[in-house]
Amino acid sequence: MPVSAPKYSGFVAVRVPTATVRIRGASSVRALPVHCDTIKTWKRWCCASPIVLAMASSGEDINKSRPSFWESKWETSSTPWDCGAAHPYLKRFLETGEYGRLRQQIAESGVSTDESAPPLKPRSALIPGCGSGYDAVLVGAFANQVTAVDLSGIAVKRMENLAREADLTNVKGVVANFFVTQDWMSQGAPFDFIFDDTFFCAIDPSMRGKWARAMKEVTAPGSILLCSVFPNLQKPDGPPYGVSPQAYRDVLLPNAFKEISVTEIPAELRARAHITADSIDMAAVFVRE
């Protein structure tokens, strides 16, 4: 049974054995890799994924019951990934001056940049899949400019309200598909700091190479990419999909990034232990070469 999804630019049509999901707004139509053969599996994918926004089941058309399944998650507060606060590790990373120390370390390592003196705080930062915006607003207190991207208009609105409450005018929200970079990168690229918390684990693993290429496109030599490696375990279904430090290396190293460090996040600084207690969360830092 055909199922239509919300109008988000850049998405494509996907055919599965028992249903057709037509996603409008794409400039072209091509097949995505399909890792399931049942509608039940598609439902699991759709519970939180920013890539698969259509739920297919017998006799159900989500467009008829609500305008957007993804938006409905925010409307009903069905957002278990939302912790209600900025990531504790990110907070410590910024408050202790780790960003500035990393920039100095990168400059001394010989990575070519266009700076004679690396800044001690981000000039232009990016938060992909920003959600309610806690991380974006936290970074906004340290950076000159922050761009927060999310598919959900409701999420971006919440982020903007949070920034307004914090009296921050340097945090800008963009409702866009992260992978269609031309729709949003003019807001602040090249970014010298990017924090990816639950975006990498939310996308289908087949999209990770494209994620890395987009990161390369919107950064410049010397840019820092800080990733929260969560959930750090074997979890083939999702979202969230299981990730590992190696999963980041596999796609970032071929795309002009160099690994700086991978460290275990202390238990008291983990953001989502209540969701996946078995995950040994880690922080991975990469620099654009």
Q: What is the pLDDT of residue 277?
A: 58
Domain spans in the chain, listed from the N-terminal domain onward: 2-72, 88-288
Element of type H or E holding 198? none
pTM: 0.74
Contacts of 282 (CB under 8 A, 6+ apart): 228, 229, 232, 245, 262, 263, 264, 265
Contacts of 184 (CB under 8 A, 6+ apart): 147, 149, 174, 176, 178
pLDDT in tens, 96-155: 999 999 998 888 887 766 665 567 899 999 999 999 999 999 999 999 999 999 888 989
State which fold the 88-288 domain adopts. Answer: Rossmann fold (3.40.50)
Mean pLDDT of 247-257: 98
More confident residue, 31 or 239: 239
The pair of three-digit structure tokens given for residue 86, joined into one six-digit string: 């900025």
Give the strand pairing for 219-229 and 19-22. Answer: unpaired
pLDDT in tens, 171-223: 999 998 899 999 999 888 999 999 999 899 988 899 999 999 999 999 999 99
